[in-house]
Amino acid sequence: MVEAIFPPASPAGHSGPFALFQAEGWLLGVASVSLVSGLEATTEALYSDMFHAARGLRFARIWNYVPAINAGGGSGLENYQVFCRGRSLAFERHFGAGFKTFLPAASAVGSKTAELSVVFAACQAAMRHVENPLQVSAYDYPREYGPRAPSFARATIVRNREQATVFFSGTAAIRGHGTVAPHDTRHQLDCTLENLRELSVACGLGPHLDTGCGATRHFKVYLRHVDDQPWVAAALEERLLQPRDLVSYLQADLCRAQLNVEIEATLCPPFIS
């Protein structure tokens, strides 16, 4: 299926490598660039281009697609850790030492291509970034996960006069900052659903991601192993999904080699405080 979580968009030109689109108050941008300068330098430069393209708007959601995300990237680091360093440096250079308060919801999964791809959604509306009490904030991870911690919030709530849009970052089986049940998809799915419920409460949506309150709910489920899809889909139909929900399943490597499943969500419920 084709995911469509924003209103119909119109082309709005280009800014550097980013193709831009306008969609009822949203500025959307997408770019894919080769790694001629190496992953870290390319990431830092692409994020700097993104900040310029956003024209001072607030970032609500960023999607990242990192080539060979679990492969070695030099200096004993995985490519994801190299990507995180470039991203963090770009945020710090643009927003200053207090850049953590500006970090939006985000995800980063592996890409089969040789290009780094970034998609962003930005707007002028008020927003609030939310953390999961069961998890250490990603931007505060200890150095065992790399020289620069991942730069994202667990969720972002964007508010306007009539409703809110809630972006849940890619959510996986991480408790505190440690990986739960490495390589065990079934137990990781249990933990992932617990994290989604806890994050939903923190966002003011109750423990069931606004079930029964009229929200439009989009889910994207990333699986490392294709063979897991049938039973994961059956489990989610029983434990999470409602008939009107929109869900897509994608095969992808995830940010930690020990993780097999990650779920992101976008909800459009009535206005929340």
Q: What is the pLDDT of residue 272?
A: 59
Instruction: Tell me if 82 is assigned to some domain.
Output: yes
The strand ranges marked E within 97-163 are: 105-111, 115-123, 126-130, 155-159
CB 38 within 8 A of CB 84: no
Active site (catalytic) residues: 262
User: What mean pLDDT is reported for the chain?
Assistant: 95
Structure tokens at 211: 């079930």
The CATH number given to whatever domain includes residue 139 is 3.30.1330.40
Q: What is the pLDDT of residue 108?
A: 98
pLDDT tens per residue across span 168-223: 999 999 999 999 999 999 999 999 999 999 999 999 999 999 866 678 899 999 99
Q: What is the pLDDT of residue 19?
A: 98
Q: How many CA atoms lie within 13 A of 82 on its CB side?
A: 23
pLDDT tens per residue across span 55-93: 999 999 999 999 999 999 878 899 999 999 999 999 999
Residue with tokens 């911690």: 149
Instruction: Tell me if 191 is assigned to some domain.
Output: yes
Instruction: Tell me if 2 is assigned to some domain.
Output: no
Residue numbers of the domain that contains 28: 10-268
How many Cβ atoms are within 10 Å of 231's Cβ, its own excluded? 12
Between β-strands 105-111 and 58-67, what pairing exists: parallel, antiparallel or unpaired? parallel
pLDDT tens per residue across span 2-41: 678 898 999 999 999 999 999 999 999 999 999 999 999 9
pLDDT tens per residue across span 233-264: 999 999 999 999 999 999 999 999 999 999 99
Band (160; pLDDT cuts 50, 70, 90): confident
Report the Cα 31 to chain-centroid distance in Å: 16
Instruction: Tell me if 217 is assigned to some domain.
Output: yes
Instruction: Tell me if 134 is assigned to some domain.
Output: yes
Q: Is 192 exposed, middle or buried (0-12, 13-18, 19+ CB in 10 A)?
A: buried
Q: What is the pLDDT of residue 264?
A: 98
Q: Which helix (H) or strand (E) holds 17?
A: none
What is the per-residue DSSP string for 163-202?
BEEEEEEEE-SEEBTEESSTT-HHHHHHHHHHHHHHHHHH
pLDDT tens per residue across span 105-149: 999 999 999 999 999 999 999 999 999 999 999 999 999 999 999
Question: For residues 272 and 166, what is the distance between their CA atoms, to the nearest angstrom?
Answer: 10
Query: How many structural domains comprise the chain?
Result: 1
Structure tokens at 7: 């209103």
Q: Is 83 exposed, middle or buried (0-12, 13-18, 19+ CB in 10 A)?
A: buried
Q: What is the pLDDT of residue 212?
A: 62
Does 273 score more than 60 pLDDT?
A: no
Instruction: Tell me if 273 is assigned to some domain.
Output: no
Does 270 score more than 70 pLDDT?
A: no
Q: What is the pLDDT of residue 51?
A: 98
Question: For residues 37 and 234, what is the distance between their CA atoms, to the nearest angstrom?
Answer: 43
Instruction: Tell me if 4 is assigned to some domain.
Output: no
**Phi then psi dihedrals of residue 115, to 5 deg:** -110, 145
Instruction: Tell me if 246 is assigned to some domain.
Output: yes
